[in-house]
Amino acid sequence: MYDVNNIFAKIIRKEIPSTIVYEDEKILFFHDITPQAKVHILVIPKIPVKDLTDFLNQADEIAVKYFFDKINEVVKEIGLTKTGFRLVTNNGLDANQEVPHFHMHILGGENLNSIR
Ligand code: 5GP
């Protein structure tokens, strides 16, 4: 069951501020409030899905492709493709997913060797 009052749902509705990197009607990129690397951006689809499993089960192929294509565009735009980046998602309890709205972390801007 999706919690409509999770933090990222509130960020989408602009009830909580965020530092936006890119936004359109389908997707939102914003800076993580506690960055784990020089660049730490979160990317979320604007549909109510709680994790990756839910996203892949609910979203159609076009929406899934749009999500990853837009990540590809944004990482290029902000210069991460030159030096590399990490794209990670925590899915559910054992991954200690904190916010129950599907999101991916984009980490980069420095060598990520010491960052889990
Ligand atoms: P998770 O553990 O669910 O994969 O990651 C949740 C991420 O959301 C964490 O990296 C955390 O710092 C970030 N976060 C939690 N609350 C907020 C918030 O209110 N604003 C922003 N920008 N990031 C948040």
Q: How far is the CA of 21 from the centre of ligand 1 (A)?
A: 15
Q: Please give the chain's pLDDT, 116 residues, in tens.
A: 999 999 999 999 999 999 999 999 999 999 999 999 999 999 999 999 999 999 999 999 999 999 999 999 999 999 999 999 999 999 999 999 999 999 999 999 999 998 87
Which two structure tokens, joined as six digits, stand for 108?
């980069």
Would you state the pLDDT for residue 46? 98
Whether 105 sits among the annotated catalytic residues: the reply is no
Would you state the pLDDT for residue 115? 82
52: Cβ below 6 Å to ligand 1? no
Would you state the pLDDT for residue 37? 97
Closest CA to 49 of 33, 68, 64: 64
5: Cβ below 6 Å to ligand 1? no
Q: CB within 8 A of 97, min separation 6: which ones?
A: 51, 90, 91
The per-residue b/e assignment along 25-61, b for 16 or more CB within 10 angstroms, e otherwise, is eebbbbebeeeebebbbbbbbbbebbbbebbeebbee
Phi, psi (degrees; rounded to nearest 5) at 99: -110, 120
Residue 75, number of CB atoms within 10 A of its CB: 21
Would you state the pLDDT for residue 3? 98
Would you state the pLDDT for residue 112? 97
